[in-house]
Each structure stands twice: as structure tokens, then as C-alpha cells.
A and B are shown apart, each in its own frame.
Chain A
Amino acid sequence: MRQNLERFLKALRGMDVPVSVAEAIDAHRTAALVGWSDRTLLRDALAVAVAKSEDEKARYFECFDAFFAAAGASRDPDRATAAETAGETLRAADADPDRPAGDLVRMLLDGDRAGVSAAMAAAAGEVDLSRLRLFTQRGVFMRRILDAMGIGDLETEIRSLRAAPDDPAATERADRLEDARERLIEESRDLVERNIALFADPASARLREEFLERMRLANIPPRDFERVRRIVRRMAKRLASRHARRRFNRKDGRLDPRRTIRSNIAHDGVPFRLAWRYTRVERPKVVAVCDVSGSVAATAQFLLLLLHSMREVMSDFRAFAFSSHLEEVDDLLGGRPFEEAAAGIMERIGFRPTDYGRTLVDLEEGYLDVIDRRTTVIVLGDGRNNRGDPRTASLERIFQRAKRVIWLNPEPRTFWGTGDSEMLRYLPWCHVARVCNTLRHLERAVDDLLAARA
């Protein structure tokens, strides 16, 4: 039973329900407390112990049902539901793990379905289906299960019966056994397939996501856009919840009399050490400027996606986009699905030759009042200025006024300053400049940005 629960927890982790060791222990204690016989009770009880948010609960229930359907080896209609048999077969499997293989023939001939499904559950336990990673492993695992059930003996038996073609009883037996073997293979296929849905699909999805996180944004194939959007959204949410309510203790001139008296009792009430009230630090104010010109078109999608997600999670956020000139895109991004917003922006501003100089001047002249010592300015772009005047003086003034200027460049560092890239000339006026061309980079950059409290 313990192994089965472990396998279930593993499946849960695959479904993105993080089950820590402590929670696993709770799950075992809970299962021991409520027992395995009442499935609804077990379901409710384990839900309390391992799934710790509404989302996780939904995924948990899905996984629970799938797992117990997968554990039920028999899909026989006269056996109520697969789920009901699950507990039964699991128990049978546990009680009797090493059923002698020769029994298989006897059970098949007797039509002992319960025995067969118990044997299959036991074999599945031995093979450990939770190791399934890819759907291509289906055949291998089916074979292993059948081997563990003793299909070898069955084959031998059939062959020896066929060896006597004159004996009608033997031929009849052989026919029956062959039919039974077909059914057995079908059942093992069902079992493995249900387990693939449980273990392999989440695992390969996760693999794919990890891969996407490291892939150059420009190389991500369009069919994965939806997945990437999901990743970015999750990323934005995670970042927002981590940073939304940061506070720290600072002297700002307001005395806390209660705490002052308390900490100075030892000095006879003479206020030696002063205690100050907590102050709330302001949430980060962000001005993001995003290049959507032709040279970064492939990456621009994702930069815009990040802007879109950040807008949703940050309260004080202003987004600008530019290629030949600067435009505020808050109204375009807000309150619309991303696809629509991105298309609108690209249509209005995108695909023109880049002019960083003009953009910086636009920003300085039009929006310098937005930028103050609490503002972080993020520039997303490659710094390729088509040999125009880079107007570094404008960036310098912004640099001096803002809390931080962060430049995220999709080009690798070795490309900076080559050709028409003015990156090296902008570099002195950035607090931070970093390469940003994968989702990982994006996340780290934003995390730094939000964590910065200097």
C-alpha cells in the first residue's frame, strides 16, 4: 500500500502539485488514519494533506481519479467501475505479491478474472509503471508486465497442447488459452496506456517546458507560442506574488513610543535606544521601453508578452514601444488578449528602422516627469541604431534621474558594439545591462528588478 501511495504522490508531482517530504509523511499518516476502503473518504482526506491551493486541488482530483482508474487493471463492465476495483486489486496485489507464475494458465482456464487482474496489478507493481517517461516505452512495459505475470509458461502450455493436434480436448484448451492471451495483451495495453497518461505525459510536457525556457526566444517555433505564453504568465504571477508586498524597517522620523519605552526599561525608562515605526516601501515603479523594429522582430513578440504579463501583475507600470519613434502602449496592452494587443502594436509601431536616438529624446522630452528616483527604466532592445546619432546624453540624463536603468539585450555580449550596435556607448549609462534571449534570462532579469531595493 505504501508503494502505491508513493507512486500516486509521484504522479501528483508530475501534475505540478508540489508534494514535499513533510507532506508525503502527512499523506501516509492520513491514509493510515482513514484507510483504503472508502474511496471518497480517502480522496477528501488526502486532498487536505497534499493539495495546498484551489488550483492544486483541481489538479489533485483529476490525478486521483486518473490514478485509480489506471490502477484498476480490469475494464470489465460487470465489475462495477474500474475505480471501485482499484482498492480491491491493490490490496490483493499487496497481500499476494509472488503468485506462482504457473497459476496464470489455471486462472485463465477457470475464468478467474479477479485472480488475473490481481496478478496484473502485482506485475505492474513489480515493473513500476511510474518509471514511464515516453509513450514509445509502451511496448517494453507491456512486455515486462506480461513476463512478470508468467506469459512464458502460457506460451509453453499452448505450444505443448498444439503438439497433439489429434486430441480435440487439447485443441479446444489451446484455443481458449489463445483467446485469453489476446485479452490479456489488450488489458495490459490498457493498463500501460492509462499509466502513460498519468506519468509519461506530464513528464514529457515538463521536459518540453524546460527546453523552451532555455531556448533562444527567436528560435521558438510558432506552434509552441501558446506554451510559452503559459510559462510567461506563470512566471509573472510567481514574480508578482514574491515581490508584491515587500516591506522593511526604516527610520523615517516617526517614533514608536511603545516600543521605545519597552526597549529602554532596563535604562530606567531613559530613552537610550529609539524604536521607529515600520514604513512601507513603495512598490517598484517601472517604465519599460520595448524595441519592436525589424532587427528584433523575432524577439519582440516575447518582449511584448513580458510587458503584457508584467502589466497584469504590477500596479505602477508604464509600457512604451518604439522603432522609429516612441509611443506609449498602455492602452493597447491593457484589457485585451495578448494576440490582439501584440498585433495592434506591431501594426502601429513595428517594422520600421530603429532610431534609438529619437526614442531616447522622445522619452526624455515627453515623459521625464514620470521618471523619478523611485522609477526603474527597462530598455528591451538590441541597441542597433542604423548608424544614427545615439544621443547618449539623453540616456545619461535619464540615468541620473531614475533609480535604475536596466538594459536587456537579446544579442550575445560578443555582438555588442559590432556593426551598427551602439550598445557599448550606452553601457556606461545603464546600472545593469544583460543578455536576455531566453525565458530563463527574462525571469532572472525581472526578479532582480523587483528585488532591488537599493
Chain B
Amino acid sequence: MPSASPASSPVASPSLERLGGADRIAAGLEGGGYIPSRAIATAVHVAAHLEKPILVEGSAGVGKTELALSVARWLDLPLVRLQCYEGLDESKALYEWKYGKQLLYTQILKDRMSDVLRDADGFEGAMARLHDFGDLFFSEQFLEPRPLLRALRTEGGAVLLIDEVDKSDEEFEAFLLEVLSAHQVTIPELGTVRADMPPVTFLTSNNTRDLGDALKRRCLHLHIPLPEARLERRIVATRVPEAGEALRRQLVDFVQQLRTLELRKLPSISETIDWARALVLLNASELERELVRDTLNVLLKFEVDVERADRELPALLAHSRREGGPAAAPRVA
């Protein structure tokens, strides 16, 4: 994704001397289409300078993953993504041996053994020669790097996204600790692989379980709340520029009101954006009752919620029209 910021030129360190302050980070991310709140920009700023991972929490669809993607786009760094799930283990996250090739290697070795040992005298000599022989069995050649190792070894740094870390098992958290605090991985057969350039790391969590204290201590913690109206309008304006000013104001106000209702799942930013897109596709320039009723399922994912909102629809719409009406609209900088 192109970015006008000069910061995106490849520089030695993603450790972000070049990032400047929080304001510049905010501007940079906005250039890539992500509108961060002040708290988010500050968090990225602090994390970059302390070289610490950020643990991002918040309900689904508030832009946790998107934040990592945007930072990668803006810094023009490769993004390494690790999606967590129950049963994820180190062979899928850290590294794996290419055991098929290792098997072939031992067979080749067996075939060639007689050549190598032909002129060795006696068993002792043969053993000595065998020891001289480089041990390739556990070597870089047969190492299959998985996301974490790949992120550490990417030259020039990378953005590492460990998505939905709360879905992984507690044991897996333990593997992460070394990577997160020391930016290194220890492979018993090879030794320790250190990152020349610590990756910019994001962890996201949906809070399906409490993460361990050890993990939390190693991370900075950012909680992304549902956005306030003003921020949300800016986000919609950036992501769905086709939506006119009046429509934008009305739809954001409508969603904001929905969030005050008691719903099973409150609509978050991604739903707002989807809805805005849907409304634009349907050529809406204002919220109309029938239109809203037909598209409500974009915003609300449970039947009970849709019914609930449907009952309140006239009041909600009246409010949105009043607030977002073109005449009454106070201009926002």
C-alpha cells in the first residue's frame, strides 16, 4: 500500500527512531487508511521505542488485526501472521524439521558410506572419519521456519502479528515468552536464533480466556473501545468515501444509538463500514425506514437483536435524521 510518508523508505531499523512522536504515527497510519485514536497512536509510539510487543484487546471488529496490517503497510515491512487456535504447538509456530528430506539424507549417507570409509583402517579409523564428517542432520538446511522464526530472521525487520492469542493453549503462551521478551528462539539441536532486528509485534485477543500474567507482563496492553461518533465518522469517511456527508452522519449516529441498546452483540466498526458500503451500493443518500430494515442484518448478527432494533426503529431513525440532518449538521474539522 503506497504511503506518502518518507518514513516508509527502507531504513536500517524498524525500531522506529524514524517514527517520531505519536502525532506522526497517527498521520502515517491515516495515510494508509487506518484512523487511530490518540490512545492507539500513543501505544504504538511507546511500544516502538521500548521495543515491546503490544497486546491488543477489544471486542470483535474494532480493528485489532487491522492495526497490525496498517502498521506493516505504513512501515513497508513484511507482515508475518500467526493465527492461533487450540492445539497450536511449536512445530507449527516456531520451526519444524523437514523430516522427509532428513530421511533421504540418511539414505544417501548410507549409500555413500562405503565410499567414505573405504580406505579407513579398522573400526577406530572409520569412527574417526565419521566424526570428521560434518553433521548435517540437524542443520539449517533441514530447518523449516514457521511464522515466529521467520519473523525473527527476516532481514530489515518485520511486523509480527500473533492473532487471537487467547485461542491458543496455556502451554503455547510459554513458547511465546522467549520470543516476546528476548526476540530469540532456542532450537535445542542448533542453538539460539536471535533477531538482528526485533520485529514489531502485535498480539490480539478477544478475551475468551484470561491470558497468563507472565505474558501480560511482557507486553504493553492496549484496549480498543468502540469508537466515539466523531472518530467513527472519520473512519467511515476514509474507508467508504463514496458515502455522502449526510448519509455518513446519519448512519454513524444510528449505529451509535444501537450501541446504547441492550443487544447480544453490539455492532462494531467493521459492521459500520460494511453497512456503509451496503447503503452506498443501494444508492442511498439518506436513511430510510425500509432500507434500514432490509439491511439491518448487516449490522446485527442475532435474530433477537434484529427484532429488538426493529421495534425501536422509528425512534432511532428520527434521532439520526435530526442529528445528522444536513441543515442541523455542525461541521467537524
Binding site for B on A (CB under 8 A): 20, 22-23, 26, 29-30, 33-34, 40-41, 44-45, 47-49, 51-54, 57, 241, 244-245, 247, 258-259, 261-262, 265-266, 268-269, 278
Contacts and interface: CB of A to CB of B under 8 A. Distances in A.
26 contacts: A22-B218, A29-B49, A29-B50, A33-B45, A33-B49, A34-B45, A34-B46, A44-B38, A44-B39, A44-B42, A45-B42, A45-B45, A48-B42, A48-B46, A48-B220, A53-B57, A53-B210, A53-B216, A54-B57, A241-B209, A245-B170, A247-B171, A261-B99, A262-B96, A262-B97, A278-B87
Which of A33, A44, A244, A247 counts the most chain B CB atoms within 10 A? A44
B43 A48 contact: yes
B209 A265 contact: no
A41 B22 contact: yes
Contacts, number: 85
Contacts of A45: 42-43, 45-46
Contacts of B49: 29, 33
Given A30-B50, A34-B42, A51 B99 contact: no
Nearest to A237: B210
B50 A47 contact: no
Mostly, the A contact residues are helix
Contacts of A49: 46, 50, 220
Interface string B153-166: 00000000000000
B277 to A, nearest CB: 30
A30 B99 contact: no
B46 A22 contact: no
B222 interface: yes
B118 interface: no
B148 interface: no
B141 to A, nearest CB: 14
Contacts of B96: 262
B169 A22 contact: no
Contact of B223 (A33, A57, A245, A269): A57
B217 interface: yes
Contacts of B9: none
Contact of B106 (A57, A262, A265): A265
Interface in B1-50: 22, 38-39, 42-43, 45-47, 49-50
A265 to B, nearest CB: 5
Given A22-B217, A48-B42, A245-B209, 5 more contacts: A33-B46, A45-B42, A48-B47, A52-B216, A266-B137
Interface in B186-200: none
B103 interface: yes
Contacts of A265: 97, 99, 102-103, 106, 137
